[in-house]
Amino acid sequence: MSSIELIIFDFDGVIVDSEHLYNKANKNAFIHAGIEMSDHDINTRFLGMAFKDMLDIFNRDYGTERTQIYEAKVNSESIRIIEQELTAIPHIIEFLETTHLPYFIASNAHTDWTEHKIELLNIGHLFDDILLGTNSVAKPKPAPDMFKLAADKMGTAYDKCVVVEDGIYGIQAAKHLGMVPLGFTGQVSKVHNHQQNLTNAGAHLIFDDMRQLANIIAEL
Please state the domain extents for the chain: 6-17+87-218, 19-85
pTM (two decimals):
0.88
| Predicted confidence (pLDDT) per residue in 74-105, tens digit | 999 999 999 999 999 999 999 999 999 999 99
Name the amino acid, one letter, at 201: A
Q: In the sheet where 103-106 sits, what is the strand order? A: 131-132, 103-106, 6-9, 161-165, 180-184, 205-207
User: Rounded distance, CA 172 to CA 165, Å?
Assistant: 10
CATH of domain 6-17+87-218: 3.40.50.1000
CB-side neighbour CA atoms (13 Å) of 44: 14
- The answer to whether 107 and 127 are in contact (CB under 8 A) is no
| Predicted confidence (pLDDT) per residue in 185-215, tens digit | 999 888 889 999 999 999 999 999 999 999 9
- Residue 5 — pLDDT band, cuts 50, 70, 90? very high
Reply yes or no on whether the pLDDT at 127 is more than 90: yes
User: Rounded distance, CA 195 to CA 9, Å?
Assistant: 18
Determine what percent of the chain is predicted with pLDDT higher than 90.
84
- Residue 1 — pLDDT band, cuts 50, 70, 90? low
Rounded mean pLDDT, 36-60: 83
